[in-house]
Amino acid sequence: MIELKLVLPQEAAQLLAMQRAAFMPLLEKYHDDATSPACESQQRVLARITQPGSFYYWIVLNQTRIGAVRVLDRKNGERKKISPIFILPQYQNRGYAQQVFALLESAHGQSNWGLATIEQETRCCYLYEKLGYTRTGERTAVNSRMTIVGYVKG
């Protein structure tokens, strides 16, 4: 059973290490050095943890941290944003992400969500579409190998 636990500011180094491990395969594939979460600094991760309206959660399976997700929810009617979400490679493709989204919607509401993902990662696009997200038409070319596409729900 998946659960979400808030990341504490003093856990920024642990979060960054896990984030790098999770995003390194994508960095190696797309060479998106300027935008990859694998290249973020600890200061940037700490700023995201402590930002007002930011909720950074550990994704926990049987008391083992297997990933993390951040929700930007300012509680003012703006679209809630998921960025980033990751699960360590050895735990992927087991349905955990679907459980995470259900927990997030339970905690933050079922409507008015947004996220972005790599268009070339068809499994990610399929997951988000399966969860009820629709493409916005927004596309941003990061480089010749990678394009970011936007999604919304509700």
Walk me through the domains of the chain, giving residue ranges and CATH numbers: 2-153 (3.40.630.30)
- How far is residue 70's CA from residue 125's CA, in Å, rounded to a whole number? 18
DSSP state of 90: G
Each residue's pLDDT expressed in tens, for the chain with a length of 154 residues:
899 999 999 999 999 999 999 999 999 999 999 999 999 999 999 999 999 999 999 999 999 999 999 999 988 888 999 999 999 999 999 999 999 999 999 999 999 999 999 999 999 999 999 999 999 999 999 999 999 999 999 9
pTM over 0.85: yes
Nearest to 74 by CA among 96, 50, 93, 54: 54
- How far is residue 107's CA from residue 94's CA, in Å, rounded to a whole number? 22
Q: In what order do the strands lie in the sheet with 134-143?
A: 2-6, 54-61, 64-72, 80-87, 113-118, 146-153, 134-143
